[in-house]
A and B are shown apart, each in its own frame.
Chain A
Amino acid sequence: MDNIDLLGPELALIAAAGLVVLADLVLRDKRWLPWLGLTGVLASVVWTLTFVLRDRQAEAFAGALSVDDFSIFFLFLFAGIAAVVILSSIDYVQKFERYQGEYYALILASAAGLMLLAGTRDLIAIFVALELTSISQYVLAAFLRDRRSTEAGLKYILLGAISSAVILYGMAFLFGLSGTTKLTGAEGEPSIAATVAAADSDIRAALIMSMVFLAVGFAFKMAIVPFQMWVPDVYEGAPTPVAAYLSVGSKAAAFAVVLRVFYEGLGGDFISGDWSMLFAVLAAISMTVGNIIALVQTNIKRLLGYSSIAQAGNFMVGMAAISAAGNMALGASGVVFFLAAYALTNLGAFVAVIIISNKIGSDQIDDYGGLFRRAPLLGFALAFCLVSLTGLPPTAGFVAKVYIFNTAVQSDLVWLVVVAVLNTVIAAFYYLRVVSQIFLAPAPSEEGIPTPWPASISLAAVTLGVAIVGVVPTPLISASETAVRIFS
């Protein structure tokens, strides 16, 4: 029972997913389905909340799953993301009316997978959680059943399968070296961390190989250059709420799991310098390539796709900072804070895009002209989120930028920060181009854009969140610091 309690938040989502499918069979009025799903999310949040209130932190399933400050942070984050995605889908699902039940069920199931990813500390459990969330998302990407969506799903599943195989390969090496799949264990017990701590030059090559394989495999999930090829096509083809989900949910989960694996498993001094360097280089490449390609995009979803590749580079700056200066908690809290801030901001941008593209039937940036005149609040919210993505005040993006660069500077990665800040100049150009469309360009029609109220609520909530974190970031910063304290 104890183990089940710790798995509660995930189980609530899985149960809700099952109920949604059942209700889909029984109910005539499909409008209830999303609310049923949201109830599941709420139950999950409440369960997580009781962890906090009960001060409940423990391991379950023989150490495979861990409920700690780190996973609790992500439990809340993923529940929030799932709620926003469901709310903003309500109007969108008319495009595939017959499959609404499956759609919501898959979102819930994959959210459960995301949550598991943040809490697992066993290679096999990580892999299973990864597949639970990935497979749901492959299906979701192909949900529109038009040519582009199908292509997106196919591309995603093929490349995703390859990345899974690569991760598995890296895991196999680790298992071979240590004889266990546990990342950490008690004193004297075999674990990967213990193996790394005791490593000598004999197994160095094998350790580095497994590290590289894991990094490459996860780089697919995180959409890091040069493993990002699937991102623009999948984002463009997938239903917009799913693209939003992928851009924040699976990205955050991938970073969470990388934090766990590299921190807890491979954190030993013996090789931590190597992966720090690897991440620094990936960060620099990712930011630069993502930004430069984003410059020429004319489709807003592709633009957000490439920009999310560039933003992943920013997270990577924090990853690189983790072990560079010996103060391991430093970069990690930067990454976690940036993930949360980015989740708010990018969700805001995507929800606005969902509402707009649903109404004007186009994802072309040129068609966003005069948006501010047609829908002032919607236009303002989108512009505000883009300003936050640029990293200008008074937004969450600004604080995140300053915070993560601060950690990198302290870790002696000044060169990387210079690369990153120069990249913000490029990013400013394409983000502000969209902002200028919203405010300046003539509107193709004067017709107002009505906003469905569930999506409005989620948009208002995340935009307000972006502003609040921008002005009073301290609570979120302390939460991030608490979350990563388990690593030190």
Chain B
Amino acid sequence: MLTFIVFFPVLGALAIAFLPRQQEQRAKQMAAVVATIVFVVSLAAFALFDRDASGFQFTEQIRWIRAGSAGFDIQYFLGVDGLGLVMVILTTFLFVLAVLISWNIDLRPKEYFAWMLVLETGVLGVFTSLDLILFFLFWEVELVPMYMLISIWGTGRKEYSAIKFVLYTIAGSALMLVGILVLAFSADPQSFDMTVLMEADIRDTLLPLPAIFFLIFAAFAIKLPVFPFHTWLPDAHTDAPTAVSVILAGVLLKMGGYGMIRICVSILPEVAKDYGVWLAAFAAISVIYGALVTLRQTDLKRLIAYSSVSHMGYVLLGIAAFGQVALTGAALQMFTHGTITGLLFVMVGLVYNRTHTRDIAVLRGLAHHMPVIATVMVIAGLASLGLPSMSGFVAEAMVFLGSVKAFAPATIFAVVGIVLTAGYILWMVERVFFGPKTEEWAELGDASSWWEHIPMAALVAVIIGVGVYPSAIVDVLDMGIEPIIARLG
């Protein structure tokens, strides 16, 4: 089942690549069908997921590469626990929407949708791999499609942003590779199997354990991103096409948080605990710094991009606090941020499509001309600043509850971040959508076509749904987090 979920998109991509040139429109339909099928299957997995069993489910384990003498035994090993499953759902869901948002792409559509589906396979592979090398493989798979998507279909300094994104990621993953190899070699028994490593005795034969931890952590810190490794993110976000921004913010950043929990924290929990205060400090800096920089942005998309830096700080804070509630909160924050920021980027994309500008100073009084877009934008904004009954609130509350005992000062800083968030969100909404009616934008229509309505409606439904009834997701996440916490007793 997981194999199907992971590889069906890439099969779709191949099929699209071999479509005859005249049938370029067919590519969109095929991509939509493929993404929807994958989403439906992952929903089925969610339904079939045994909520009473612990450990990984739907596992598929095949010996893949074997080189006995080199201790190089790599498995094709997929499986999900509560955490992985939620990330898979988030991914397949957002990819359906991403295909819909891209409906008006006319530039080389065949290649666009093919790369999009390749990207989906890479991301899903990351969330389901239980073998470190396999994880690393999928981690790297994502690079080429992202590079293409940003540099061909982006705007502005797209090539610069694309290469910056790729180099940052490769730098991180290069260090991660060293970390993974050292980790596997330092463990007794030696293995790349995450489930084995979680039980294994890991000694500092080659490198001290914290060094291993931070070699691997570096890749995730860049991806999440944590200050000061965040500078690729605003560029990549700003210059990427709308759907790619949605995916980037919604899913790719989560690979960082997920990796921290799945590998760093699960396999080396002692180190995570010992260095928690440092992580918390960086988390607090990310939150405050991200929020302050966000306040100064004049470009709508850059504003949301920087707000991601701030919001991902909460994830790191939850991880640093290392407790059942905090970690679950961090995981939930990843999910909700995926949907909320996804929605924000969708809305900015719609505004940009109509006005062809993202300059906040130029946009004014849009609510008069596009009431639907304005309303949804306000909802997204409120969710982003953590209004109760929206999903963002639950996640942030859980993170703070979990972290306040461990790191009170960092938590206080992070809470201040919420105030700043309220500031920039409300200020942005006020400047862009309200104020006097302007003739300049009078001609512009509101959101009207189905491929615009469906993503908006779906995201709003999820945001409010999780906000009102968080247990639907929290219970499953809890199941994934519990064994990790249990390891440290």
Chain A residue at smallest Cβ distance from B162: A436
User: Known contacts A406-B181, A409-B181, A409-B182: does B167 contact A425 (CB below 8 Å)?
Assistant: yes
The yes or no answer to A474 lying at the interface (CB within 8 A) is yes
Residue of B68, B138, B175 touching A481 (CB-CB under 8 A): B68
Bound state CA distance, A334 and B138, in angstroms?
Answer: 22
Q: Which residues of A contact B138 (CB under 8 A)?
A: 393
Q: Which residues of A contact B177 (CB under 8 A)?
A: 401-402, 405, 421
Contact across chains for A429 and B181 when beta carbons are under 8 A apart: no
Contact across chains for B71 and A477 when beta carbons are under 8 A apart: no
The yes or no answer to B263 lying at the interface (CB within 8 A) is no
Residue of B71, B174, B207 contacting most chain A CB atoms (<10 Å): B174
B361 to chain A, nearest CB (A): 32
Bound state CA distance, A432 and B281, in angstroms?
Answer: 36
Contact across chains for A403 and B70 when beta carbons are under 8 A apart: yes
B454 to chain A, nearest CB (A): 31
User: Known contacts A392-B144, A393-B141, A425-B171: does B69 contact A405 (CB below 8 Å)?
Assistant: no
List which A58-110 residues lie within 8 A (CB) of chain B: none
The yes or no answer to A329 lying at the interface (CB within 8 A) is yes
Bound state CA distance, A352 and B64, in angstroms?
Answer: 31
Contact across chains for B167 and A402 when beta carbons are under 8 A apart: no
Contact across chains for A439 and B137 when beta carbons are under 8 A apart: no
Bound state CA distance, A6 and B170, in angstroms?
Answer: 47
List which B43-81 residues lie within 8 A (CB) of chain A: 64-72
Bound state CA distance, A402 and B178, in angstroms?
Answer: 9
Interface 1/0s, chain B 411-441, versus A by CB < 8 A? 0000000000000000000000000000000
Chain B residue at smallest Cβ distance from A477: B67
The yes or no answer to A410 lying at the interface (CB within 8 A) is yes
Contact across chains for A424 and B174 when beta carbons are under 8 A apart: yes
For the complex, count residues of B whose C-beta is within 8 A of A: 37
Contact across chains for A405 and B67 when beta carbons are under 8 A apart: no
Residue of A406, A424, A473 touching B170 (CB-CB under 8 A): A424
Contact across chains for B182 and A474 when beta carbons are under 8 A apart: no
Q: Among B146-154, B224-232, B316-324, which stretch is in contact with chain A?
A: B146-154
The yes or no answer to B299 lying at the interface (CB within 8 A) is no
Bound state CA distance, A283 and B417, in angstroms?
Answer: 48
Contact across chains for A422 and B136 when beta carbons are under 8 A apart: no
The yes or no answer to A428 lying at the interface (CB within 8 A) is yes
Residue of B64, B72, B136, B152 contacting most chain A CB atoms (<10 Å): B72
Q: Which residues of B contact A424 (CB under 8 A)?
A: 170, 174
Bound state CA distance, A398 and B137, in angstroms?
Answer: 8
Contact across chains for A394 and B174 when beta carbons are under 8 A apart: no
The yes or no answer to A387 lying at the interface (CB within 8 A) is yes
List which A432-483 residues lie within 8 A (CB) of chain B: 432-433, 435-436, 439-440, 473-474, 477-478, 481
Bound state CA distance, A392 and B162, in angstroms?
Answer: 16
Interface 1/0s, chain A 313-354, versus B by CB < 8 A? 000000000000001011001100000000000000000000
A438 to chain B, nearest CB (A): 11
B6 to chain A, nearest CB (A): 13
Contact across chains for A436 and B159 when beta carbons are under 8 A apart: yes
Q: Which residues of B contact A432 (CB under 8 A)?
A: 147, 163, 166
A56 to chain B, nearest CB (A): 24
Q: Which residues of B contact A157 (CB under 8 A)?
A: none
A395 to chain B, nearest CB (A): 10
Q: Which residues of A contact B270 (CB under 8 A)?
A: none
Residue of B140, B163, B171, B206 touching A392 (CB-CB under 8 A): B140
A31 to chain B, nearest CB (A): 34
Bound state CA distance, A334 and B70, in angstroms?
Answer: 9
Chain B residue at smallest Cβ distance from A373: B108
Q: Which residues of A contact B65 (CB under 8 A)?
A: 399, 473-474, 477
B interface, over-half SS? helix
Give the bracket for the number of chain A residues in contact with chain B: 35 or more
Residue of B64, B171, B185 touching A410 (CB-CB under 8 A): B185
Contact across chains for B152 and A333 when beta carbons are under 8 A apart: no
The yes or no answer to B133 lying at the interface (CB within 8 A) is yes
A257 to chain B, nearest CB (A): 23
Chain B residue at smallest Cβ distance from A403: B72
Bound state CA distance, A405 and B140, in angstroms?
Answer: 16
The yes or no answer to A269 lying at the interface (CB within 8 A) is no
Contact across chains for B71 and A392 when beta carbons are under 8 A apart: no
Bound state CA distance, A401 and B176, in angstroms?
Answer: 13
Residue of A333, A414, A418, A435 contacting most chain B CB atoms (<10 Å): A414
The yes or no answer to A146 lying at the interface (CB within 8 A) is no
Contact across chains for A333 and B166 when beta carbons are under 8 A apart: no
The yes or no answer to A284 lying at the interface (CB within 8 A) is no
Contact across chains for A333 and B70 when beta carbons are under 8 A apart: yes
Contact across chains for B136 and A402 when beta carbons are under 8 A apart: yes
The yes or no answer to B143 lying at the interface (CB within 8 A) is yes
Contact across chains for B152 and A409 when beta carbons are under 8 A apart: no
Bound state CA distance, A421 and B219, in angstroms?
Answer: 13
Bound state CA distance, A481 and B206, in angstroms?
Answer: 25
Residue of A334, A428, A478 touching B167 (CB-CB under 8 A): A428
Residue of A333, A403, A424, A428 contacting most chain B CB atoms (<10 Å): A428
Bound state CA distance, A410 and B442, in angstroms?
Answer: 68
The yes or no answer to A164 lying at the interface (CB within 8 A) is no
Bound state CA distance, A406 and B185, in angstroms?
Answer: 9
Bound state CA distance, A397 and B38, in angstroms?
Answer: 30
The yes or no answer to A17 lying at the interface (CB within 8 A) is no
Chain A residue at smallest Cβ distance from B67: A477
Chain A residue at smallest Cβ distance from B152: A440
List which B121-143 residues lie within 8 A (CB) of chain A: 133, 136-138, 140-141, 143
Residue of A405, A422, A478 touching B171 (CB-CB under 8 A): A422
Contact across chains for B67 and A333 when beta carbons are under 8 A apart: yes
Q: Which residues of A contact B71 (CB under 8 A)?
A: 406, 410
Bound state CA distance, A417 and B206, in angstroms?
Answer: 12
Q: Which residues of B contact A407 (CB under 8 A)?
A: 70, 72
User: Known contacts A418-B178, A424-B174: does B167 contact A393 (CB below 8 Å)?
Assistant: no
Contact across chains for A405 and B178 when beta carbons are under 8 A apart: yes
Bound state CA distance, A421 and B138, in angstroms?
Answer: 18
Q: Which residues of A contact B66 (CB under 8 A)?
A: 474, 477-478
Bound state CA distance, A433 and B160, in angstroms?
Answer: 11
User: Known contacts A393-B140, A398-B137, A428-B170: does B67 contact A478 (CB below 8 Å)?
Assistant: yes
A341 to chain B, nearest CB (A): 13
Contact across chains for A403 and B174 when beta carbons are under 8 A apart: no
A474 to chain B, nearest CB (A): 5
The yes or no answer to A5 lying at the interface (CB within 8 A) is no
Contact across chains for B166 and A405 when beta carbons are under 8 A apart: no
Chain B residue at smallest Cβ distance from A427: B170
Bound state CA distance, A330 and B185, in angstroms?
Answer: 14
User: Known contacts A409-B178, A409-B181, A421-B175: does B70 contact A402 (CB below 8 Å)?
Assistant: no
Contact across chains for A398 and B140 when beta carbons are under 8 A apart: yes
29 contacts between A and B (CB under 8 A): A330-B69, A330-B70, A333-B67, A333-B69, A334-B70, A392-B140, A393-B137, A393-B140, A393-B141, A398-B140, A402-B181, A406-B72, A409-B181, A409-B206, A410-B70, A410-B71, A417-B178, A417-B181, A421-B174, A421-B177, A422-B174, A425-B171, A428-B166, A436-B162, A439-B151, A474-B65, A477-B65, A477-B67, A481-B68
In the complex, given contacts A330-B70, A474-B66, what are 7 additional A-B residue pairs having Cβ atoms less than 8 angstroms apart?
A387-B144, A392-B144, A394-B141, A410-B70, A417-B178, A424-B174, A474-B65
Q: Shortest 9 CB-CB distances between A and B: which pairs?
A: A421-B174, A409-B181, A393-B137, A477-B67, A425-B171, A428-B170, A425-B170, A392-B140, A417-B178
**Which A residues contact B (CB, under 8 angstroms)?**
327, 329-330, 333-334, 387, 392-394, 398-399, 401-403, 405-407, 409-410, 412, 414, 417-418, 421-422, 424-425, 428-429, 432-433, 435-436, 439-440, 473-474, 477-478, 481
